[in-house]
Structures are given as structure tokens and as C-alpha cells.
């Protein structure tokens, strides 16, 4: 039989080509762990900002193979021709290798911080003229530049101040290193993330002073020296003596400092929600009791430190959880917006400075998430919230006069917003199922939309699994719980697959959203590519579902959460394709606590588990967080005993690996060490791995090592 060699070759080439086009890629572990923030990142705008007092939008763009600022004026109501602004020349000695992310002082002056230098740029035409505003002292941290061009910063435990006339001034002169000025306090709880508060015009400077001398020392070992060294930190544990915080006010004109008289009777209360009045005469502080069930909003005289009055109080049988400062209504000095969960959800309330409630601005069975701006001409607050569903976040406005709410954005998913200075426009960046990332400019009255970037799908070439959104009933038989089921790629419902449950289920965290990637985590998809089912769910106690949902776990951490997660297990066992004899569970931090809890309280369910950075005994965790949810060991001995895992090691049946960072100053290493000792005492075998030098989380390239370690463990016992 004769044949045409060329025709056969072409046919074979075409077949191979078609096969190659159809072949989808597998994620590498590096891609699964860090890809969404690096090689697989979605496309958007870079260093977005609005120029103050204008509707001019700034971003960094690539023009003629060089990064420049691209500015677009949207005030005309349509996308005008962009204007490009040159980077400009920097002062001698400043090595700036890439265009910086700037912050605005006013509509013609911007700045950025590089090491000890504060560089100020003056906008002249289409170019910045840069000069060195200040050079700070060696060791400067927490650098805060006010719009008045005054600077505050810390060196070690003391606060420093700089202005053009006086230069660098040592404001606090605490010789004891355990008295700390100008830094965040209360272990960053209550929304606190700084310790420096310039007054609105920059004439005065408030700062936290934290006295930790009465708090017990806790050793964190530095392993990168020979011999190893001890770094003693202050770590107040539940029920123990806590630190004492005051708020001080420094007046550069006189050089004097006063302490606000926030109370001598109970010094271990919490100073939250620090806010200056627009006229700089007063400071408002939310004084939260050590028990965290009673809050006073107090007004203080900034010059004398005297208490002026208590505007109002809030209390709750379980806890009050303030996390936001006041927001004064722009253009007024006597009205402010207050955040509160008093009706069971996080909402906004309008008050006057006499403490009179003018109106509740938002209400309903949903949460306000962020305030992102203010439409001055319309008298509307721009905010994000979960009004449509707790699985999404959208952009809204609410009228101060009528308390009417209007949605600004379009499209399902998770929306974030940056509002222009006058609130006429927002930058809306959103993602959701099938929407990698879309970046648009929207006029807040709905009259105009301009799409800036619609990201291509960076995962289009990968072999991705089917993802099912799941709703089940909590253990109370009433409350809906949301989860995701990630099925193996090339799923065959007639087969049985090993299954991994990933969980956190603790306060202030929500895992399940309508977002991109739809799974929520590419490591889940990596595991699906390697033949696993992955299940994850937010049980009661987790975030963004209201106070009743969160407070269901009060005084008994790990109990209700476990009951809900076991409902998830019950659902998994109902699926014919779940191999119930090959199930694993994994979580980190609170999720590590939950993983270990389930392995010890329900030892016959999971064949193996990996618990990272786990709390093993809540009496060894820090005061502010623990006492909010558990009260003190003295007041709640049964709750602490029930949640403690150190006396339950003998229950373990499956394989358990613990992982901990040796320098963890959040969940201190002793949790794992004490658990290991109990296992040895009981003759219980567990596996263990540490990350030398790491604190509570393992990040960067070493996180790839971590996730490979976890994956290998599941492969060893579930495959």
C-alpha cells in the first residue's frame, strides 16, 4: 500500500498541535503559594491616588518604556486626555531607583519617605521639583508627616519631633525602656495601628505613653547568633497584670507636655478611638473597661488634660468592641459619625458634640465595612458594606439628612473604593467569580463610569477545578453557614477522593467571599489538581455576620465552632465521592487551635492533621484578645478548662503535625512546647516542625517550603 509521507507528517503535526493547545498547566507550589501576588497577579492601576481639591486621578504608567505619573481630570464628566507628569530630579545623594508612591500635602505638594530622608515635591506644570524636607536621626521609626510639614517619629522607646525652625527635638525622655512613647498600644487591638496623632492644623501632637514595667517579661530567643540571645518582651497574659496607657499632648510652642486625665482608679483600661476636634481644643477618647463590656466616649481639654464630659456610654452583657475613631462631618465642628454594633451589626450613627444622637444613618442585618470618603456637596458619606450579602462588599452612599442609602457600584463581587477629595468620584476596584479584576472610575451620583483596566484572567491556561458554593445549617439548626467545595480536576463522581478541611473559624476573619480566584486560595486548587477534595467554611464566631453570630462562642472558644465544623464534616460524609477514611484537616493560628481541638475532641474523624501556630491554652494568650472572648481564667475557669488542649493529648488517634515559628510573639512558642511535653508524658506520638527566626507567619519563599511540608504530610497519610 502506497502512502503520502508528507500528508501523514502534516496530519500528525496537526494532531499534536491540537493536543498541545488543549493541555492545561498544573500549578507549581511556588505559583500556588505566592503566584497571585507575583507572576499570576491580576492587572490594575499602580499607586492610585486623587489629587487633593481636584477630580484629578493619578497613577503610575509606563510611557516610552519609562514609568511616569499619568493624570486624568474627570471633572468634566468624561475621560479627558491623560496628562503625563515627569518624575523630576532628586536631591544629590538620594538614589531613587523607581518612581515612588507619593502622599499629598496639598494639591501642589507631595512627599515620600526614603530611609531617614523626607523628600518633598512641588508640582510645577508637568514636572515635580524635589527637595529634601528633612533628614531624621538614625534609628527613626513610625515616621508621621503632617500636612503642616511637621514630623513626629520614634527612636527606641521615645518620641521625637521635627519642624523647619527647631529641627529634631526629643519630646519624651523616658530612661526606662519599658515605658514606650509614640507607638501602637494594646497589642494592636481595637483598631489601633499607631501611637502618633497630629492635631488637624498640626499645632499640637498627641501620643500614647505605655507603661509596661508591671507586666511580666517573656523570653523570645534570637537563634541567629552564637550563643543564642534572649530578647525579653512584655506579654500580658489573660488574667495577669496588664500595661497602663495614657494619652499625652505635646505643644511645640511651649515645649510642654500634658497627660489627659483618663482615670487613676482603673489604669488598665483601654484608650481607643482617639480623635481630635477640628478646632484642636479637645480630644475624644473611647475608654473601654478591662472587662470590655462598658465604653465611655469622653471629651478632654487638650491644653489642661481635664475631662470635659462623657458624651455617652455603651455596654453589652458580653463585650463592646470599638475599632474606629470618630469622623467629624467635613465643614462642621459639632457633628461626628460614630461606629457601633449596639443593634447587633456594625452601623453608623450621627451625633453632636454634646452627646446627643441625631440619627442612626445605616441599619439592617448587615455590616458597614469602611468609610471611604465624603460627598461634600451632597452631604453624603461614601462607605462599603455587606448590604447585599455577607459574601460580597459593595460601595454605597448615605445621606446625613435623610439617611437614605444608594448603591454606587455595579457588578457582583468584592469592591474596594478610593474616593476623590470632594467625593464626586470613586476608584472602584473589584473582583468576583469569573472577574479577575476590574478597575473603574465612577461618579458617585451614577452619572459617569470610565473603565481603566479590565484584567485578563492570569489563570486561563491552568487546569482549574470545579468549585461549588455550599450553604449548610449550623449546629443550632437555624443559622446558615457558607462554604466552598473544591473538587479534584477531571472529577469523576463514581470515584472516592481523599479530602482536606481547611479552617480558621475565629473572630475578625472571614474566609468565604465571592472573589477571584473563586476557590479563595490557589493552594486549594493545587491540591485539587493532585486528586484531593478541599472543603472550607465559616462557622459561628467568624467575622462579618453580626454580633449574635460572633458572640455565640463567648466564654467557650472552640466549642460552638467545633460543633459547626462537625456539621461540615457531616455534609462531607453525605457525599458519595468523599473517602471518609482518608480525611485531613489544616489551619493556622486560631485555625491551628481548631485543628488540634477537633483532633482531640473528635479523634475518630480525621486520619491526619497539620496545626500551625496553635493556641493550646488560652490562659497563655494575650489579655486584650482573650479576655474579650473568654473573660479571665478566674471568672471563667470552666471555659478555660474546656478549651485547654494540654490535658487532652491522650485522646489523639490520628497523625498530627504541629508547626511553629521559633520567634512567635503572638502565639508564643511555649504553647507547642508544653503540648509536646504532655504528649511525651502520655506516650503519644506527634510530628513537629519549626521555622527558625519566624514570628507568627511564614512568608515569602519560605512559605513555599511550609506549604510543601504540609502537602507532603497529607500525601504521606491520605494518598
Task: Catalogue the active-site residues.
Answer: 589, 664, 696
Distance separating alpha carbons of residues 619 and 597, to the nearest angstrom: 16
* Backbone angles phi and psi of 74, in degrees to 5: -95, 5
Residues 6+ apart with CB under 8 A from 92: none
Give the orientation angle of helix 590-601 with respect to helix 560-573, to 10 degrees: 70
In SS3 terms, 571-587 reads as: HHHCCCCEEEEEEEEEE
Distance separating alpha carbons of residues 484 and 571, to the nearest angstrom: 12
Beta partners for residue 179, in sequence order: 211
Q: Is the backbone peptide bond immediately before 208 cis, with ω within 30 degrees of 0?
A: no
Q: Give the H or E element holding residue 104.
A: strand 103-106
Can you tell me which residue has the cell 513555599?
704
At 218 the three-state DSSP class reads strand
Give the orientation angle of helix 522-529 with respect to helix 701-718, to 10 degrees: 40
At 303 the three-state DSSP class reads coil
Q: Comparing C-alpha atoms, which of 292, 192, 290 is closest to residue 241?
A: 290
At 312 the three-state DSSP class reads strand
Can you tell me which residue has the cell 458519595?
576
Query: Is the Cβ–Cβ distance between 525 and 464 less than 8 Å?
Result: yes
What is the β-pairing status of strands 244-251 and 205-211? antiparallel
Query: Is the Cβ–Cβ distance between 449 and 442 less than 8 Å?
Result: yes
Query: Is the Cβ–Cβ distance between 185 and 210 less than 8 Å?
Result: yes
Distance separating alpha carbons of residues 90 and 84, to the nearest angstrom: 18
Distance separating alpha carbons of residues 367 and 473, to the nearest angstrom: 21
* Backbone angles phi and psi of 110, in degrees to 5: -135, 170
Helix/strand number for the chain, H first, E second: 10, 43
Cα–Cα distance list, 631 to 231, 253, 615, 639, 666 (Å): 29, 45, 16, 9, 19
Distance separating alpha carbons of residues 56 and 76, to the nearest angstrom: 10
Query: Is the Cβ–Cβ distance between 411 and 432 less than 8 Å?
Result: yes
Residues 6+ apart with CB under 8 A from 356: none
* Backbone angles phi and psi of 342, in degrees to 5: -60, -25
Q: Which three cell numbers stand for residue 502?
A: 481547611
Q: Comparing C-alpha atoms, which of 41, 127, 35, 54 is closest to residue 437?
A: 41
Distance separating alpha carbons of residues 518 and 322, to the nearest angstrom: 32
Q: Comparing C-alpha atoms, which of 696, 631, 638, 636 is closest to residue 664?
A: 696
Can you tell me which residue has the cell 478591662?
290
Distance separating alpha carbons of residues 443 and 304, to the nearest angstrom: 45
Tally of CA atoms within 13 A in the half-sphere of 91 that contains its CB:
12
Distance separating alpha carbons of residues 106 and 9, to the nearest angstrom: 69
How crowded is residue 700: how many other Cβ atoms within 10 Å of its Cβ?
Answer: 9
Q: Sheet holding 140-145: strands in order across?
A: 140-145, 151-155, 158-163, 167-170
Beta partners for residue 58, in sequence order: 49, 71
At 495 the three-state DSSP class reads coil
Amino acid at each position: 500500500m502506497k502512502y503520502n509521507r508528507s500528508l501523514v507528517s502534516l496530519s500528525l503535526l496537526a494532531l499534536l498541535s491540537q493536543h498541545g493547545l488543549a493541555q492545561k498547566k498544573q500549578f507549581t507550589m511556588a505559583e500556588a503559594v505566592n503566584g497571585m501576588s507575583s507572576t499570576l497577579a491580576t492587572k490594575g492601576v499602580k499607586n492610585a491616588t486623587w489629587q487633593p481639591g481636584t477630580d484629578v486621578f493619578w497613577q503610575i504608567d509606563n510611557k516610552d518604556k519609562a514609568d511616569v505619573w499619568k493624570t486624568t481630570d474627570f471633572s468634566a464628566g468624561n475621560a479627558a486626555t491623560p496628562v503625563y507628569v515627569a518624575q523630576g530630579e532628586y536631591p544629590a545623594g538620594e538614589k531613587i531607583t523607581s518612581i515612588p508612591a507619593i502622599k499629598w500635602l496639598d494639591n501642589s505638594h507631595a512627599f515620600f519617605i526614603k530611609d531617614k530622608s523626607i523628600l518633598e515635591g512641588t508640582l510645577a506644570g508637568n514636572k515635580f521639583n524635589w527637595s529634601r524636607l528633612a533628614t531624621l536621626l538614625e534609628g527613626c521609626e513610625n515616621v508621621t508627616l503632617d500636612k503642616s510639614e511637621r514630623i513626629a517619629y520614634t527612636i527606641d522607646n521615645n518620641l521625637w519631633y521635627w519642624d523647619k525652625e527647631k529641627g529634631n527635638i526629643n519630646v519624651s525622655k523616658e530612661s526606662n525602656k519599658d515605658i514606650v512613647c509614640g507607638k501602637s498600644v494594646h497589642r494592636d487591638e481595637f483598631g489601633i495601628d499607631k501611637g502618633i496623632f497630629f492635631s488637624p492644623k498640626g499645632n499640637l501632637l498627641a501620643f500614647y505613653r505605655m507603661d509596661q514595667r508591671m507586666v511580666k517579661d517573656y523570653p523570645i530567643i534570637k537563634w541567629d547568633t552564637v550563643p543564642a540571645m534572649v530578647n525579653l518582651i512584655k506579654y500580658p497574659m489573660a488574667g495577669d497584670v496588664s500595661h497602663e496607657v495614657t494619652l499625652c499632648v505635646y505643644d511645640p510652642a511651649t515645649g510642654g507636655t500634658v497627660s489627659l486625665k483618663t482615670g487613676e482608679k482603673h489604669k488598665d483600661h483601654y484608650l481607643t478611638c482617639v480623635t481630635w476636634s477640628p478646632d484642636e481644643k479637645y480630644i475624644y477618647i473611647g475608654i473601654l473597661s478591662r472587662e470590655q463590656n462598658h465604653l465611655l466616649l469622653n471629651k478632654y481639654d487638650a491644653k489642661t488634660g481635664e475631662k470635659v464630659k462623657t458624651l455617652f456610654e455603651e455596654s453589652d452583657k458580653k463585650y463592646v468592641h470599638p475599632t474606629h475613631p470618630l469622623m467629624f462631618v467635613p465643614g462642621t465642628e459639632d457633628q461626628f459619625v460614630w461606629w457601633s454594633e449596639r443593634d447587633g451589626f456594625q452601623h453608623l450613627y450621627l451625633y453632636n458634640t454634646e452627646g446627643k444622637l441625631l440619627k442612626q444613618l445605616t441599619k439592617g442585618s448587615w455590616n458597614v465595612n469602611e468609610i471611604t470618603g465624603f460627598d461634600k456637596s451632597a452631604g453624603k458619606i461614601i462607605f462599603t458594606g455587606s448590604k447585599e450579602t455577607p459574601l460580597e462588599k459593595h460601595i454605597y452612599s448615605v445621606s446625613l439628612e435623610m439617611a437614605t442609602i444608594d448603591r454606587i457600584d455595579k457588578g457582583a463581587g468584592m469592591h474596594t473604593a478610593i474616593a476623590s477629595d470632594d467625593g464626586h468620584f470613586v476608584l472602584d476596584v473589584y473582583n468576583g467569580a469569573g472577574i479577575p479584576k476590574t478597575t473603574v472610575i465612577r461618579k458617585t451620583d451614577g452619572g459617569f463610569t470610565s473603565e481603566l483596566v479590565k484584567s485578563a484572567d492570569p489563570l486561563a491556561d491552568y487546569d482549574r477545578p470545579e468549585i461549588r458554593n455550599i450553604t449548610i445549617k449550623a449546629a443550632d439548626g437555624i443559622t446558615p453557614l457558607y462554604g466552598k467545595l473544591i473538587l479534584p480536576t477531571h472529577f469523576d463522581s463514581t470515584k472516592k477522593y481523599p479530602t482536606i478541611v481547611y479552617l480558621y473559624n475565629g473572630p475578625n476573619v472571614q474566609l468565604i467571599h465571592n472573589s477571584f480566584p473563586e476557590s479563595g486560595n490557589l493552594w486549594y486548587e493545587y491540591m485539587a489538581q493532585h486528586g484531593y477534595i478541599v472543603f472550607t467554611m465559616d462557622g459561628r464566631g467568624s467575622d462579618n455576620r453580626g454580633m449574635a453570630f460572633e458572640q455565640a462562642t463567648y466564654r467557650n472558644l472552640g466549642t460552638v465552632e467545633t460543633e459547626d465544623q462537625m456539621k461540615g464534616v457531616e455534609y462531607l460524609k453525605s457525599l458519595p465521592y468523599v473517602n471518609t477514611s482518608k480525611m485531613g484537616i489544616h489551619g493556622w493560628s486560631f485555625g491551628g487551635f481548631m485543628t488540634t481541638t477537633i483532633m482531640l475532641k473528635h479523634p475518630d474523624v480525621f486520619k491526619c492533621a497539620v496545626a500551625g501556630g496553635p493556641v493550646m491554652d488560652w490562659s497563655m494568650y494575650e489579655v486584650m484578645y482573650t479576655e474579650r472572648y473568654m473573660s479571665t481564667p478566674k471568672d471563667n475557669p470552666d471555659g478555660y478548662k474546656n478549651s485547654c488542649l494540654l490535658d487532652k493529648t491522650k485522646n489523639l488517634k490520628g497523625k498530627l503535625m504541629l508547626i511553629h515559628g521559633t520567634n512567635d510573639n503572638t502565639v508564643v512558642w511555649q504553647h507547642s512546647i508544653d503540648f509536646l511535653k504532655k504528649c511525651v508524658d502520655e506516650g503519644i506520638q506527634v510530628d513537629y516542625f519549626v521555622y527558625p527566626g519566624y514570628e507568627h507567619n511564614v512568608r515569602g519563599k519560605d512559605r513555599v517550603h511550609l506549604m510543601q511540608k504540609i502537602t507532603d504530610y497529607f500525601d504521606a497519610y491520605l494518598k
